[in-house]
Amino acid sequence: MAVDLFLKNLRIKTVRAIVDHITETIPVPGEGLWEPLSLDYTKCLASLLRYRPHTEHLDEEDWETLISFCLASISFKENEESQLSIRSGHRFVPEDQDASDSRSTPLRVIAPVPFSRERHHGNINVIEEVVICIQLLTTSPNPLQTTAQSILHGLSEFVESSVGGNAHQLAFNSINAVVTKVMFDQSELVRSVLLGLLPVIRRLWATKLQILKEELLATLMLSMIVLVDTARKEPSESLAHDIEGLASTLHSEYVRRSEKEILQIDETTLYQNEACQNRPVYGPCLGTARSEHNWTVLWLIAELLKLSDGIRTRIKSGSTREGSSKRQRFSSEIQDVFRDSVSATGTRRICALQLIPFLESEIDIETKEPFFKQLVLNVSDSNGAVSSWTMIALTRYVNK
């Protein structure tokens, strides 16, 4: 492609001319010359934008034109009819009418058309190229304040309505970039978008694509800011339920892993007692991706459980006796972690032991000493991981 060959030699005037040509030639997905040209043209755009000086020198009008073009290209509503046609292998055609028929509106029947596998994969490739363009545009220094809403809503719709894949990793990377830039200026927009993405994250969390999971984790870290603020301002049963569901999703996926895939003792950093008054006695090995990921998942599970517990407590304080019974049912969520640490097996037991340093403050005073005395028995367990994590869980208790 000529653009690739002369990419660094192109003047900004030429770049703008190419952008105008592409956005004017295939302005509407699925119409006109879109099908034969969209893949090559979107690849051309991605090549242009990968060269950072070209992206950074786009003026505001060109940047907004490009982002609008890209968002329209991944719009589920605009592509729904063409995608349905591709998946079903059918299209609508007019039925021949009898001359004596007095109906003014012709009937339409479904007629089969050959399924084009190349066309299907072509559309997927186009979408991936377009999402790459969005990612390159949103991570550039260009201001996002005026377009943040359309970008976040467009990307949210995209990740909600399509199957997880490489494009989702780029989409969530863009979402995280935009949220980071406008979180304090457009807090209500960010709150709405991130809360709306929680069900999507739960659905995608089982993905085998590690790069996607890392972006989901980053989105969850940003979401925690919103969840904490929302829990403080507007605590509700529905919010507590959503938080519990998210914690359950993270926990269920973690305990389904093999013992080799979860956090290992040699992947942690142990803190001195004086340095961990308000934090767990162990942390991740910074710079080690797997350690950081697994530790963060454990931290999120614990924080989500504590956050939901706080919401239930606030609701209980101003509610009836029925609210009290709901609080007791929720308390069993955290109590289950403590029970699992002494009675469960395999990864579930190790996960519970790993969570205890995060949840130690949630243990009732009257049951704290009996619990830790029971936990001491784990030290002699034949499973080395159980024994080691038990000793870490007991660190604060022993040092008091």
Beta strands 90-94 and 108-112, pairing class: antiparallel
What would the two tokens of residue 276 be?
Answer: 């961990």
Indicate if 274 and 390 belong to the same structural domain.
yes
Residue 352's identity, in one-letter code, is A
Q: How many domains does the chain have?
A: 2
Rounded to two decimals, what is the model's pTM?
0.83
Domain assignment present for 126: yes
Write out pLDDT tens, residues 26-67: 999 989 999 999 999 999 999 999 999 999 999 999 999 999
What pLDDT does 313 receive?
83
Q: What is the DSSP string of 270-323?
A: EPPGGGGTTS-SEEE-TT-HHHHHHHHHHHHHHHHHHHHHHHHHHHHHTS-HHH
The backbone torsions φ and ψ at residue 28, rounded to the nearest 5 degrees and listed phi first, read: -120, 120
Domain assignment present for 190: no
What would the two tokens of residue 112 be?
Answer: 């089969």
Domain assignment present for 71: yes
Domain assignment present for 136: yes
Which residues have C-beta within 8 Å of that of residue 351, sequence separation ≥ 6? 251, 254, 255, 262, 298, 340
Indicate if 1 and 133 belong to the same structural domain.
yes
Query: Nearest-CA neighbor of 50 among 217, 226, 170?
Result: 170
Indicate if 137 and 246 belong to the same structural domain.
no
What would the two tokens of residue 174 be?
Answer: 């863009």
Indicate if 393 and 246 belong to the same structural domain.
yes
Indicate if 127 and 245 belong to the same structural domain.
no
The residue among 143, 173, 195 that closes a domain is 143
What pLDDT does 332 receive?
62
What pLDDT does 355 receive?
96
What pLDDT does 32 receive?
92
Which residues have C-beta within 8 Å of that of residue 215, sequence separation ≥ 6? 168, 169, 172, 173, 176
Indicate if 135 and 246 belong to the same structural domain.
no
Domain assignment present for 205: no
What pLDDT does 328 receive?
45
Give the single-character DSSP code of 95: P
Query: Nearest-CA neighbor of 298 among 346, 214, 373, 357?
Result: 357
Indicate if 134 and 243 belong to the same structural domain.
no
Rounded distance, CA 128 to CA 111, Å?
A: 30
Indicate if 262 and 129 belong to the same structural domain.
no
Structural domain including 66 reads 1-79+122-143
Could you tell me if 241 and 199 are in contact, meaning their C-beta atoms sit under 8 angstroms apart?
no
What pLDDT does 118 receive?
44
Indicate if 135 and 275 belong to the same structural domain.
no
What would the two tokens of residue 169 be?
Answer: 């990793």
What would the two tokens of residue 114 be?
Answer: 């050959």
Indicate if 134 and 245 belong to the same structural domain.
no
Could you tell me if 186 and 149 are in contact, meaning their C-beta atoms sit under 8 angstroms apart?
yes
Indicate if 132 and 256 belong to the same structural domain.
no
What would the two tokens of residue 348 be?
Answer: 């579930």
* Cα radius of gyration rounded to whole Å, the chain: 27
Distances 221 to 67, 98, 395 between C-alpha atoms, Å = 26, 64, 27
Residues of the chain with pLDDT under 70: 1-4, 76-122, 273-278, 318-332, 396-400
Residue 398's identity, in one-letter code, is V
Rounded distance, CA 63 to CA 54, Å?
A: 11
What pLDDT does 324 receive?
46
Indicate if 255 and 129 belong to the same structural domain.
no
Coil, helix or strand at residue 57: coil
Query: Nearest-CA neighbor of 152 among 184, 204, 201, 192?
Result: 192
Domain assignment present for 176: no
Domain assignment present for 247: yes
